Structure 1
Amino acid sequence: MKRTVLFLCSFNIGRSIMAESLLNAIGGDVFEAYSAGEAPKSAIHPQAAATLLNHGHSLSGLNPKSWQSFLAASGPSIDLAITLCNNAEGEMCMALSERFPVAHWDIPDPALATSEAERAQLFELVYQNLKHLIEGLTDLPEDYFGQRLADAVTRLGFICDAAE
């Protein structure tokens, strides 16, 4: 059975969408990824979409959605949630941590860039950082479950931060 991972960010239009697509591409034989946000927007950020397309990802099935849909009985069973920004805390994290382990990777928001050129560069950098972290996630031992898995995934983020 595949492990399910939910990536979380405030608006679910950039980082979390890219992480969902990356994990499904890199670890799709072992993992099934989803993404959601606290205040999801109506569409994926255009630069996130362009970055994914530039790397050969399909946008099919990728759309912003609320984290609350993953708490419903009809929602998928989640093995691990990973927050990707410091804003993805508060009510969302508290509610989710009562249901499943939550890890954190602090990924800066590339949408905050002031110019189109800088934004494109930052989305590419975020894509590469997420790819590196997700490769680390897929390399973790299969017997890592629950809080042990969440702790190991959070440490991956610290290791990545230290290497920069």
Structure 2
Amino acid sequence: MTDNPSVLFVCVHNAGRSQMAQGFLNHLAGDAIEVRSAGTAPAESLNPTAIEAMAELGIDITAQQPKLLTPDTLQTTTVVITMGCGDACPYYPAIDYRDWQLADPAGQTLAAVRLIRNEIHTHVTTLITELLPELTPGQHPIN
């Protein structure tokens, strides 16, 4: 762990929403924010439509893999962003939890996943501004 803030994106299968969010945060914040994702019931592989939607923006998430959410991962995180895992996500006091209400991209068309992707992008850029307030908007690597 570093002194940088850390973010954990959690959804059920860790195959779509949380992986796109991780991809955006890695791409936009670089090493300034430690980013991870996990699922309460991880899928075998990433959602191919989520991969395609991110690739359209030049962000390659193919090296990411669905991972199981563990208590240790939660306890070493500054901010936990949940995306539809509900009560399946354990709660630990003193951790900042947030829930982003996002549609599940599983089984959706590319057009629908693009809308979800764009909504995730908006949330992630807001999160970067909040976690790195010392930077002015012009300094963020957000495009």
Distance 2:40 2:21 in 1: 16
* Identical aligned residues as a percent: 25
Is 2:115 aligned against 1:125? Answer: yes
Partner residue in 1 for 2:80: 81
Distance 1:91 1:59, change over 3 A: closer
Which of the residues 37, 40, 44 maps onto 2:39? 37
Is 2:53 aligned against 1:47? Answer: no
One-letter code of the match for 1:123? V
Instruction: Provide TM-score, normalisation by structure 2.
Output: 0.81
Cα offset, 1:29, TM superposition: 3.9
Distance 2:21 2:10 in 1: 9
Distance 1:64 1:26 in 2: 21
SS at match of 2:6: strand
Cα offset, 1:27, TM superposition: 1.6
Cα offset, 1:103, TM superposition: 0.6
One-letter code of the match for 2:32? V
Distance 1:99 1:62 in 2: 28
Cα offset, 1:111, TM superposition: 1.9
Partner residue in 2 for 1:56: 58
Partner residue in 2 for 1:109: 104
One-letter code of the match for 2:15? I
Distance 1:107 1:18 in 2: 12
One-letter code of the match for 1:89? G
Structure 1 residue runs without a partner (length 5+)? 114-118, 144-164
Structure 2 residue runs without a partner (length 5+)? 134-143
Contact persistence 2:50–2:105 (CA under 8 A): no
Is 2:98 aligned against 1:96? Answer: no
One-letter code of the match for 2:127? L
Q: Which runs of 4+ in 1 moved over 4 A?
A: none
CA distances 1:74-97 after superposition (whole Å, capped 9, x unpaired): x88210100112xx12142xx233
Determine which structure has the larger helix proportion and give its number.
1
The higher relative CO (CA closer than 8 Å, separation ≥ 6) is in 2
Distance 1:140 1:57 in 2: 23
Instruction: Provide TM-score, normalisation by structure 1.
Output: 0.72
Which of the residues 18, 25, 28 maps onto 1:26? 28
SS at match of 1:97: coil
Contact persistence 2:10–2:38 (CA under 8 A): yes
Which segment is superposed worse, 15-24 or 132-141? 132-141
